[in-house]
Amino acid sequence: MPVSVWKEAHRPEKAVEDSKQVIAALRSSSGMSAVGAAGFCWGGERSFFLAFPSDLGKVVVELAKSDVIQAAVLLHPSQVTVDDIEDVKKPIAVLGAEIDKLSPPELLRQLEQVLSTKPEVEGYVKIFGGVVHGWTTKYKDEDEASVRSAEEAHQNMLDWFIKFVN
């Protein structure tokens, strides 16, 4: 299947609608009352992903604009813009990398600035020093500093969900 055909069939808008349906089904079948959503971008290493980065961060931001979820966490996001963050209604944490062409620190600071102007929405932005885009999932087990940084980000994500998803 050509990449362009695959991309068209897997647009963020479709993923948002699919996610809403899954969440609704889980709520009705399990009695689940609260949901948190995390978006990891897997791009950055291979040329395929550089040319066609993941839109998972974008999907989670769209969910955070609705009442479908109670909290969101973005980890090394891509495709997320300042405009996207302006309409967020749910608590959102953004965990980014110091070395990241898809979401550089300058953009992360802009996201933080927008969140700081929204007193009704709790926002948190953290830039992890010395790490690259994708560090929370693509690290070498023998690199202790990388493992510690990934574990810290994972713990930050869990703490955010514990605080807001209840």
Write out the H or E segment, with its range, that includes residue 5: helix 3-9
pLDDT attached to residue 56: 60
Residue range of the domain that includes 25? 3-164
Domains of the chain: total: 1
Strand order in the sheet with 123-132: 36-40, 71-75, 92-99, 123-132
The CATH number assigned to the domain holding 117 equals 3.40.50.1820
pLDDT above 70 covers a percentage of the chain that reads 91
Give the residue, 163 or 9, on which the prediction is more confident: 163
pTM: 0.85
pLDDT attached to residue 55: 58
Residue 60 has pLDDT above 80, yes or no: yes
pLDDT attached to residue 162: 97
| Residue among 10, 17, 85, 112 nearest 52 (CA) | 10
Q: Provide the terminal-to-terminal Cα distance of the chain, rounded to the nearest Å.
A: 42
